[in-house]
Amino acid sequence: MTEPSAPSDEELLDKFQRAAFGYFLEQFNPDNGLVADTSRTGAPSSIAVVGFALSCYPVGVERGWMARADAAERTLVTLRFFWDSRQSEQPDATGYKGFYYHFLDLKTGKRVWQSELSLIDTTLLLAGVLAASVYFNEDTASENEIRERAHAIYRRVDWQWACGGEATVRQGWKPGSGFLHYGWEGYSEATILYVLGLASPTHPLPENSFMGWTATYQWENIYGYDLLYAGPLFIHHFSQAWIDFVGIRDSFMREKGSDYFENSRRATYVQREYARRNPYGFEGYGKDCWGITANDGPGFKTLKIDGRERRFLGYAARGVPYGTDDGTIGPCAAVGSLPFAPELALSALRHFCARYPEMIQESRLPSGFNPTLPGGGPSGWISEGYFGLDQGLVVLMIENYRSQMIWKLMRRCPYIGSGLRRAGFTGGWVS
Amino acid sequence: MDKYNLVIIGAGPAGLVAARAAAALGAKVALIERNLIGGDCLNVGCVPSKAIIRTSRLYADMRDAENFGAQVPISVDVDFPAAMERMRRLRSRISRTDSARRLSAEGVDMYFGSACFAGPNAVAVDKTVLHFRKALIATGARPKTPAIPGLAETGYLTNENVFDLTERPRRMLVIGGGPLGCELAQAFCRLGVQVIIAQDDPMFLPKEERDAAQILSDALARDGVEIHLNAKVVAVRMEGGKKVADLVGDGNEFSIFVDEILTGIGRAPNVGGMNLAAAGVRYDLETGILVNDFLQTTNARIYAAGDVCLMHKFTHTADASARIAVQNALFLGRKRLSALTIPWCTYTDPEIAHVGLYVREAWEKAIPVKTFTILMHDVDRAVTDGEEEGFVKIHVREGTDRILGATVVASHAGEMINGLSLAIGSGIGLRALARVIHSYPTQAQAIKMAADAYNRTRLTPTLKSLAKRWLAW
């Protein structure tokens, strides 16, 4: 009897991508288009996850997993909800000034958990809205309405207000207390926020806001790699899930002779190198087992394991080599690096499949697992259910690796091009 | 009556250094102090805080003994009074160096009392009037008081009285996440106090770089400090014999019950009560006495040094500024304050030390920067010491080896930063540092590793190819 041959890269990726895509079919509310933040019972909707969902539907159509009419219908329900829902300063509204609250009740669409009016999560929602506006380009009633509503939603956003009188954007706002006090210093996932904010034809960000933000960057040499450092891997992924940064450079990257795509590649290598060195002796870490990012964790607790005190976190931003690390691996983040360092990401995915099969159910990857914290198998603790952000990232990044479809799609979005140019990007496809 | 060459107001670090230096050079010197010799640093600052930090580190190590392959009793009981008693004993021992008798023996005339200018070249100490050719104001600073309704009535601690504690408070709220707040929050937590820290900012040590502040935040959390960032204390009151602080953070209101409240929100210069107007010395209540780069006040005969006039309120800065002031005042010197390379350190665990420019400051000056980062977990001695948390970051001007600044986060960052201060102050670049043999194994070897990392970037593909060709024999 012969052993079944290992699936090819293409077969493997297709299987995982389709499984991740399934999340958005399962967690979709047909009444308002909202998608649950996680698959856990009672989870609210996250507007960022809706943004990923809107971007995934075109992938589903092109891959033959969904009819175009079905995708258009889902998209339209979603856009109608976001255009028609209440925008006001009231604490139970859906949004204000064109932005939306981070978490919404899956059924009613009203703000929950006293969440903040989130600028970055609204941005990820808008990225999906704009992806839909470009993809659904046929002259039909529903696709015409998609384009019309998408542009209206984008144009309503008041980016100028979001600066709160400062040179750069604030992180968020809450009714009653106003803008959040959090600093947003250093490289982060906000590049796409500035691009969309600068491109707004109605209430654009000030021209110098992007430069103001990049002035807080640090160009570092770590483990022999020169890069714009950020600890959590998702920071190197989120903007690039939509925007193709290959060969285009802003003023900072021109000075450094690099670009953001190359930067994400180096960041992936730094993650792998950290896991290989494994300075804190976490179980499982190695050259094919990495992916330290913002994700679900075992919960906030301190335990003594094998004579060593280990402090675990719940959902938290983990980052290496000098951020917070509790031994929790985000397998979706490793897959998210596929376009930048496919040789590393594919090895990691195959390793996860071979070493931690119990962590993967029906080809879907959990938000996190932690082999250091003993569980039912080699994976140790495994995050319950699935998170929409992770599944969305897997769908988009596998697609960008396979066909560059989302990147090509967004190149056709006029706001992306103009926002990049206003941010000072030149070269490659923006010239 | 003979005029003094130099009358110094304040016998803190700046005043003492100036008095000794001037007297040693033969000047006739008077030193006026209204309180204790030694100033804040000795009595209510660096010295007592470092003493209790040392004890608290020991307790932390004992709790962590298993990680060091050691065994300790199952429970470690903190003897808080003993820790405080040790601190007072050490403070007393160090204070002997600066006794009035020793100063007199060194040629310094000591006057105890409040100083008040009687004109542009005279100062009165109670009823004694001292005439001077030059004067130095070195009156230091005092803790700022937060304007929180109810705080004064309820009572609170500052660095001026926290070291008087003899019994361990059960719960303590620390207001302010600057160096003092963070150091004492961690130290008291390790000494068994349930500490809550509230910082009206998104991160601790807001002047330091983000990554350093994040490591500190994680370290405090790991020690068990309850952290409230972006949280403002809006009112304080008594309830059932407890102090209650009302806080607002991210739009949420909540209250905390504690036994003691410690505030550490910064320091205000001591400029009051000296009749500075009579001497023609201008000042600002927030920033202190106005001085030029030569530390000269608006009265050309009068200089200032230390916390009363400087932005960087550190003992070593007070010392350095006092030396500049003496030289400029008595010997026609033209030494500039701006020429100083000033390092500083927050003595938490890990310590956070910095010298020179931050990256954002270099950007503001349009200087392109590249940072060489070495993780402490890659430094052998840090590994063997079980002190792997942190990093050494050395910022150089892009394309050169010129060191612009550095941040060190490490258990002994305060010791390590001195080598980098020397390098910056002496114009020593990373290439030269790479040639300096560092003893092995030491944690300071991280600096050599950063220099080596710089050298590796000089190995361009062309050079590599040439070397390969050369070695092909």
Does the CB of B391 have a partner CB in chain A at under 8 Å?
Answer: yes
Select from A116, A176, A221 the Cβ nearest to the Cβ of B373: A221
To the nearest whole Å, the CA of A363 is away from the closest chain B CA by: 35
Q: Verify that B186 and B314 share a domain, yes or no.
A: no
Q: Quote the percentage of chain A above a pLDDT of 70.
A: 99
Rounded Cα gap, residues A362 and A374, in angstroms = 23
Q: Does any domain span residue B249?
A: yes
Question: Model confidence over B132-184: pLDDT tens digits?
Answer: 999 999 999 999 989 999 999 999 999 999 999 999 999 999 999 999 999 99
pLDDT band per the 50, 70, 90 thresholds, residue B72: confident
The answer to the question of residue B91 being in a domain is yes
B-chain residues within 8 Å CB-CB of A116?
A: 250
pLDDT digits (tens, 9 = 90+) for A71-102: 999 999 999 999 999 999 999 999 999 999 99
* Maximum pairwise Cα distance, chain A: 72
Pick from B66, B230, B371: CB nearest A220: B371
Distance from CA of A220 to the nearest CA of B (A): 4
Pairing of strands B108-112, B29-33: parallel
Flag whether B73 is in a domain: yes
- The pLDDT of residue A357: 96
B469 in any annotated domain: no
Tell me if B321 sits within 8 A of B305, measured CB to CB.
Answer: yes
At residue A1, does pLDDT exceed 80?
A: no
Which tens digit of pLDDT belongs to each residue from A193-208? 999 999 999 999 999 9
At CA B101, angle to CA B99 and CA B105, rounded to 5?
120
| Chain B residues with CB-CB distance to A176 below 8 A | 251
Chain A residues within 8 angstroms (CB to CB) of chain B: 114, 116, 174-177, 180-183, 185-186, 215-222, 224, 226, 229, 231, 255, 277, 279-280, 304, 307-309, 311, 321-324
Strands B108-112 and B403-410: unpaired
Which residue has tokens 């002779």? A257
Instruction: Please tell me whether residue A202 adopts helix, strand or coil conformation.
Output: coil
What CA–CA distance (Å, rounded) separates A17 from A60?
10
Distance CA B417, CA B355 (A): 7
Q: Which residues of A touch B390 (CB under 8 A)?
A: 322
pLDDT of residue B1: 56
Cβ–Cβ gap A174/B390 under 8 Å: no
Chain A residues with CB-CB distance to B391 below 8 A: 322
What is the domain-level CATH number for residue B137? Answer: 3.50.50.60
Same domain, B94 and B207: no
C-alpha–C-alpha distance, residues B160 and A214, integer Å:
42
- Report the alpha-carbon distance of residue B206 to residue B212 in Å, rounded: 10
* CA nearest to A230, candidates A319, A315, A338: A319
B386 in A contact zone (CB under 8 Å): no
Looking at CA atoms only, how far is residue A147 from chain B in angstroms? 36
| Same-domain status, B258 and B273 | no
Which pLDDT score is estimated for B179?
Answer: 96
Q: Is residue B360 domain-shared with residue B321, that is, in the same domain?
A: no
Give tens-digit pLDDT for B86-135: 999 999 998 877 788 999 999 999 999 999 999 999 999 988 999 999 99
All residues of chain A having their beta carbon less than 8 Å from the beta carbon of residue B67 are 307-309
CATH architecture of A16-430: Alpha/alpha barrel (1.50)
Query: Would you call B375 an interface residue with chain A, using a CB distance cutoff of 8 Å?
Result: yes
Decide if B457 touches A, using CB distance below 8 A. yes
Please judge whether A175 and B457 are an interchain contact, meaning their C-beta atoms are less than 8 angstroms apart: no
Please work out, in degrees rounded to the nearest 5, the angle formed at the alpha carbon of residue A81 by the alpha carbons of A62 and A49.
55
pLDDT of residue B95: 84
Q: What is the count of structural domains for chain B? A: 3
Q: Which of residues 159-188 of B touch A (CB under 8 A)?
A: none
Question: Quick check: is B471 in a domain?
Answer: no
Q: Check CB contact of B456 with chain A, cutoff 8 Å.
A: yes
Cβ A180–B373 below 8 Å, yes or no? no
Selection from A40, A175, A149, A15 nearest residue A95 by Cα: A175
**A-chain residues near B386 (CB < 8 A):** none
- The torsion angles phi and psi of A352, rounded to 5 degrees, stand at -55, -45
Nearest to A90 by CA among A70, A117, A128: A117
Residues belonging to chain A: 431
- State which residues form the domain around B298: 4-143+268-339
Q: What is the mean pLDDT of chain B?
A: 95
Q: Supply the pLDDT for residue B250.
A: 77
Q: Are A309 and B67 in contact (CB < 8 Å)?
A: yes
Give the phi and the psi of residue A364 in degrees, each rounded to 5: -110, 135
- Which among A182, A222, A279 has the least Cβ separation from residue B230? A182
> Is residue A2 predicted with pLDDT exceeding 70?
no
Identify the H or E element spanning B448. helix B445-457
| B139 and B273 inside one domain | yes
Helix, strand or coil, per DSSP, at residue A105: coil
Which residue of B201, B373, B454 is in closest CB contact with A220? Answer: B373
Same domain for B235 and B206: yes
Write out the two tokens for B229: 């960032």
Contact (CB<8Å) B230/A180: yes
Closest chain A residue to B206, measured at CA: A183
The residue among A158 and B39 whose pLDDT is bigger is A158
Q: Is the pLDDT of residue B47 over 70?
A: yes
User: Which residue of chain A has the CA closest to B376?
Assistant: A322
**Pick from A218, A221, A279: CB nearest B377:** A279
Is there a contact between A308 and B370 if contact means CB atoms under 8 Å apart? no
B361 and B301 in a common domain = no
- Interface ipTM > 0.90: yes
The answer for A98, left when phi > 0, alpha when psi is -120 to 50, beta otherwise, is: left
- Residue with more model confidence, A415 or B250: A415
The whole-number average pLDDT for the span A123-144 is: 98
The string over A313-328, giving b where at least 16 C-beta atoms fall within 10 Å of a residue's C-beta and e elsewhere, is beebbbbbbbbbbbbb
Could you tell me if B460 lies within 8 Å of chain A, comparing CB atoms? no
CA dist A235 and A231 (Å) reads 8
Same domain assignment for residues B216 and B93: no
Written as one string, the DSSP assignment of A28-70 is B-TTT--BBSBSSTT--EEHHHHHHHHHHHHHHHHTTSS-HHH
Do residue B373 and residue A229 have CB atoms under 8 angstroms apart?
Answer: yes
**Tokens 């319950």 -> residue:** A384
pLDDT score of A94? 97
Interface probe for B, chosen from A218, A219, A235 (most Cβ of B below 10 Å), is: A218
Q: State the smallest CA–CA distance between residue B109 and chain A in angstroms.
A: 52
For residue B453, the chain A residues in CB contact (below 8 A) are 221, 224
Q: Tell me whether B227 touches chain A (CB under 8 Å).
A: no
Residues B88 and B169 in one domain: no
CB contact B5 to A (< 8 Å): no
Is B92 a member of any domain?
yes
Instruction: Identify all chain A residues contacting B250, using CB atoms and an 8 Å cutoff.
Output: 116, 174, 177, 180-181
Burial of residue B211 (number of CB atoms within 10 Å: 0-12, 13-18, 19+): buried
User: Judging by beta carbons within 10 Å of its beta carbon (0-12, 13-18, 19+), is residue A349 exposed, middle or buried?
Assistant: buried
In a domain, B467, yes or no: no
Q: Which of residues 306-365 of B touch A (CB under 8 A)?
A: 359-360, 363-364
Task: Determine the distance from the C-alpha atom of residue B334 to the mean position of all C-alpha atoms in its chain, rounded to a whole number.
Answer: 27
B72 CA to chain A: closest CA distance, Å?
13
Q: Looking at the structure, do residues B139 and B13 belong to the same domain, yes or no?
A: yes
Q: Are B213 and B294 in the same domain? A: no
pLDDT at B191 over 80: yes
Is the domain of B321 the same as that of B439? no
- Most B CBs within 10 Å, among A322, A325, A326, to test the B interface: A322
pLDDT value of residue B374: 98
Cis peptide leading into residue A321 (ω within 30°) = yes
SS3 state at B283: strand
CATH of the domain at B445: 3.30.390.30
Q: How do residues A325-382 score in pLDDT, each as one tens digit? A: 999 999 999 999 999 999 999 999 999 999 999 999 999 999 999 999 999 899 999 9
Question: Closest to A322 (Cβ–Cβ): which among B230, B375, B383?
Answer: B375
If DSSP states are collapsed to H, E and C, what string results for B197-226?
EEECCCCCCCCCCHHHHHHHHHHHHHHCCE
C-beta neighbour count of A155 within 10 angstroms: 13
Contact status, residue B22 vs residue B330, Cβ threshold 8 Å: yes
CA atoms within 13 Å, Cβ hemisphere of A247: 5
Mean pLDDT, chain A, whole residue set:
96
Among residues B238, B265, B292, which one ends one of the domains? B265
CB contact under 8 A, B393 and A279: no
Measured from the Cβ of residue A176, the count of other Cβ atoms closer than 10 Å reads 10
**Sorting pLDDT into bands at 50, 70 and 90, what band is A183?**
low
Q: Do A323 and B214 touch (CB under 8 A)?
A: yes
Residue B464 lies in a domain: no
Question: So what's the pLDDT on residue A376?
Answer: 87
